[in-house]
Amino acid sequence: MNKEQKATEIASIRERFQTSKAVIFAENKGLKVSEMTELRKKLHGVDAKLQVVKNRLVKRALKEAALEGLDGFFEGPTAIASATTDPVGPAKVLVDFAKDHEALLIKGGMMDKVALSMDKIKALAALPSKEQLYAKLLGCMLNPARGVVNVLAAMPRQLVTVIDAIGKQKTN
C-alpha cells in the first residue's frame, strides 16, 4: 500500500467507527475462506459488515477519531464487524458463529464510543432483537384494548344467556 491508499483506508475505518452503532473486534486466525464467506453472509443478513484490517491502520484511525481504550484489542489478525442500525445483530451472529468455530475469537468491541468487554458483548447478544422488542411493546399496548373489548362483549353475551335461561324456564 502506498501512502495515498493508507490514508484512504484510515479515513474509511475512522468513518466506520463514527457512523456505526456497534463495532466488534475478533481474531480470525485459522478461519478458512469458506467460513469467512459464511460469516460475512450471516452478518449481511443482519445489515452488518465484516472487514479484515491492518492493526497499524486501525490504531491510527482510532487516534484520529479520538477514541481511547481500544488499542489492546488489536493484537494478531483482526476483523471488524460493524452495524449502523442494530447493535444486537452482529453481536448475536458473532457469538453464535464463535460457538461453532473455535478459530474465531471475539476480543471486544465498542458501542456509543465506549469499549465493550467480551462479557458485555455476550450480554448484548442475549438481548432480543429490535423486531422482537417491537412485538412485545405492541402486545403490551394491545392488552388494555383487548380487555375493553372483552368487557364490552361480555354484557350482551350475559344478556343473551339470561334471556335464554328465562325462555327455557317458561317453556318448562
Write out pLDDT tens, residues 86-95.
888 888 999 9
The band of 41, judged by pLDDT with boundaries at 50, 70 and 90, is very high
Spatial strand order of the sheet with 78-83 comes to 48-53, 78-83, 22-27, 105-111, 114-116
In contact, 90 and 48? CB cutoff 8 Å: yes
Q: What is the mean pLDDT of residues 113-129?
A: 85
Domain range 3-127, its CATH number among 2.120.10.30, 3.30.70.1730, 3.65.10.10, 3.20.20.70: 3.30.70.1730
**Mean of per-residue pLDDT scores for the chain:** 86
Burial of 87 (0-12, 13-18, 19+ CB in 10 A): buried
pLDDT grade for 100, boundaries at 50, 70 and 90:
confident
Cβ pair 106, 31 in contact under 8 A: no
Q: Are strands 105-111 and 48-53 parallel, antiparallel or unpaired?
A: unpaired
At 131 the pLDDT is: 81
Q: Locate cell 464487524: which residue?
A: 81
What amino acid is encoded at 159 in this protein? L
pTM, 2 dp:
0.71
Question: Position 130: which residue type?
Answer: K
Domain ranges of the chain: 3-127, 128-172
Asked if residue 24 lies in contact with residue 97, where contact means CB atoms within 8 angstroms, the answer is no
- Cα separation, 52 vs 79, whole angstroms: 4
Examine the pLDDT at 54 and tell me if it is beyond 90.
no
Q: With contact defined as beta carbons under 8 Å apart, do 91 and 43 qualify?
A: no
Per-residue confidence (pLDDT) for residue 18, from 0 to 100: 83
Confidence of residue 64 (pLDDT cuts 50, 70, 90): confident
pLDDT tens sequence across 70-83: 777 888 888 889 88
